[in-house]
């Protein structure tokens, strides 16, 4: 609950999660509930509360373009404003593999639209593709529905070696500290990409509670209820083709341990839990040619400002758009308060005290000189 909007940068800030609990009169109840983590709906309510208290937050307004002529001019669908600096925080958008994109519709959709598209699945064959938390939660919901609403068969396909838990151990969490983010930025692009792959389960693994709930539900249905064919689990598989079959979708899958042997999963409905990725916002098109790139991302400096050919006293800050430069923490809640503090310090020409460094020495330091023969 400390990884809220402000606490890790300013614990006394009135926009903290604790302030929210206190104002709502439920702080003792929250403590007594002994949650392992803040429930998602509660955190959503906290964000709504914070937005309502901040008169500068405006919803329902679309940015159309950003231009620069001594100052930034931001045009929206409702007005035009000017600014000395801007911060772009559009986040990420749902990503689908190319094989899925031509087939989107009521029977194939991204998990981000699960709530509105997952009705009327009783008696159907459903396949969930993706081994992260979102895929696990969709799978658990489908197999937990009342009998009349439950699919006839639910398959779960993942490229990962197994349905793997999130790594939430103490030393692993040190990679979600400010000094590691700064260290990560100084690595070569090749090492950064490899490190992100290696550390994926620190961010995108499945919670232990969800995995236990899935396993227990399968146990009850197979051994207690006798439904031996209701669930099919296919880890270590990659979907390589999706084609229309006789009244269904045929998913061709390849097992990485047996790449020459192709399998097939039939489904009436396919749910793609394939994550989200950063995109280049269209409204930056008027100045895009002036902004430096780092492969698929805007190149940023140590204060999250995009490197560009404009004057140094005017900056375009980017938030949640530098995973390849700042590591997995860039899209995680852990560092949003610290990142915002960095940007505020840049604007004010100050630098707040940094938190204590990690226990781990990340950088290489030569502590001895090799002996030389004379």
Residue 372 has pLDDT above 70, yes or no: no
Q: How far is CA 210 from the centre of its chain?
A: 18
Contacts of 281 (CB under 8 A, 6+ apart): 63, 88, 90
Q: Collapsing DSSP states into helix, strand and coil, what is residue 37?
A: coil
Q: 290 is written with which tokens?
A: 């002036």
Helices 208-219 and 133-143: crossing angle in degrees, nearest 10, is 30
Strand intervals (E) in 246-341: 248-255, 258-267, 269-272, 276-278, 293-294, 297-298, 316-318
Helix axis angle, 17-24 to 40-53, nearest 10°: 90
Q: Using 50, 70 and 90 to split pLDDT, how confident is the model at 346? A: very high
**CA dist list (Å): 104 to 117, 123, 127, 201, 215:** 12, 21, 14, 28, 30
Give the separation between CA 43 and CA 111, rounded to whole angstroms: 20
Report yes or no on whether pTM surpasses 0.75: yes
- DSSP-assigned letter for residue 33: H
Q: Which structural domains are found in the chain, ordered by start?
A: 1-57 (no CATH), 94-166+205-272 (3.50.50.60)
DSSP class of 3: S
Q: Is 354:178 a contact under the CB 8 Å cutoff? A: yes
Vertex 292 angle, CA 286 and 293, to 5°: 105
Q: How far apart are CA 194 and CA 173, in angstroms?
A: 18
What pLDDT shows up at residue 366?
Answer: 67
H/E stretch holding 104: none
Structure tokens at 228: 């031996």
- What are the Cα distances from residue 201, in Å, to 31, 71, 91, 167, 197? 29, 42, 20, 6, 9
Instruction: Give the separation between CA 98 and CA 240, rounded to whole angstroms.
Output: 10
Q: Is 234 helix (H, G, I), strand (E, B) or coil?
A: strand
Q: Could you report the per-residue pLDDT of 44-101, keeping only the tens digit for each?
A: 999 999 999 999 999 999 999 999 999 999 999 999 999 999 999 987 899 999 999 9
142-187 tens-digit pLDDT: 999 999 999 999 999 999 999 999 999 999 999 999 999 999 999 9
Average pLDDT, the chain: 94
Cα 227-229-235 angle, rounded to 5 deg: 125
Cα–Cα dist 129/267, whole Å: 11
Ramachandran sector of residue 130 (left: φ over 0; alpha: ψ -120 to 50; beta: rest): left
Over residues 11-47, the pLDDT tens digits come to 999 999 999 999 999 999 999 999 988 998 999 999 9
| Each residue's pLDDT tens digit, 248-300 | 999 999 999 999 999 999 999 999 999 998 888 999 999 999 999 998 899 99
Position with higher pLDDT, 353 vs 224: 224
Given the structure tokens 């197999």, which residue do they identify?
143
Q: Is the pLDDT of residue 356 over 80?
A: yes
Q: Are 177 and 358 in contact (CB under 8 A)?
A: yes
* Per-residue pLDDT band at 374 (split at 50, 70, 90): very low
Q: Cβ–Cβ contacts within 10 Å for residue 39, how many? A: 12
| Side-chain-facing half-sphere of 82: CA atoms under 13 Å | 4
Q: Which residues contact 245 (CB under 8 A, 6 or more apart)?
A: 266
The one-character DSSP state at 281 is -
**Residues 34, 25: Cα–Cα separation, whole Å:** 17
Mean pLDDT of 322-334: 92
Q: Do residues 211 and 163 touch, judged by C-beta distance below 8 A?
A: yes
Pairing of strands 80-83, 293-294: unpaired
Residues 94/110, Cβ–Cβ less than 8 Å: yes
């Amino acid at each position: 609950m400390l990884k809220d909007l402000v606490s890790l940068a300013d614990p006394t800030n009135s926009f903290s999660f604790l302030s929210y609990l206190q104002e709502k009169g439920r702080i003792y109840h929250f403590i007594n509930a002994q949650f392992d983590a803040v429930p998602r709906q509660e955190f959503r309510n906290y964000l709504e509360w914070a937005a309502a208290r901040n008169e500068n937050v405006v919803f329902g307004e679309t940015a159309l373009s950003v231009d620069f002529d001594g100052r930034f001019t931001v045009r929206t669908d409702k007005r035009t404003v000017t600014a000395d600096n801007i911060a772009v925080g559009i986040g990420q958008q749902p990503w689908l593999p190319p094989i899925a994109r031509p087939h989107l519709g009521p029977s194939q959709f991204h998990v981000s639209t699960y709530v509105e598209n997952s009705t009327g699945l009783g008696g159907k064959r459903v396949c969930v593709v993706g081994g992260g938390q979102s895929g696990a939660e969709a799978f658990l919901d489908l197999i937990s529905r009342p009998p009349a609403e439950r699919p006839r068969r639910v398959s779960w396909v993942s490229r990962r070696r197994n349905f793997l838990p999130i790594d939430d151990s103490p030393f692993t969490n040190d990679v979600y500290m400010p000094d590691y983010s700064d260290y990560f930025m100084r690595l070569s692009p090749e090492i950064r990409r490899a490190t992100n792959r290696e550390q994926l389960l620190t961010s995108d693994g499945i919670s232990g509670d969800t995995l236990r709930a899935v396993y227990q539900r399968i146990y009850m249905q197979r051994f207690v209820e006798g439904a031996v064919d209701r669930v099919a689990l296919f880890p270590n598989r990659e979907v390589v083709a999706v084609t229309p079959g006789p009244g269904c979708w045929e998913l061709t899958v390849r097992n990485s341990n047996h790449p020459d042997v192709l399998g097939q999963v039939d489904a009436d409905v396919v749910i793609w839990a394939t994550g989200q990725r950063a995109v280049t916002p269209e409204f930056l098109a008027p100045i895009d040619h002036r902004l430096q790139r780092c492969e698929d991302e805007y190149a940023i400096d140590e204060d999250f400002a995009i490197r560009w050919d404009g004057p140094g006293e005017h900056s375009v800050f980017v938030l949640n758009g530098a995973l390849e430069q700042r590591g997995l923490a860039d899209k995680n809640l852990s560092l949003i308060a610290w990142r915002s503090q960095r940007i505020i310090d840049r604007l004010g020409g100050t630098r707040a005290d940094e938190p204590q460094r990690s226990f781990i020495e990340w950088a290489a330091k030569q502590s001895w000189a090799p002996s030389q023969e004379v």
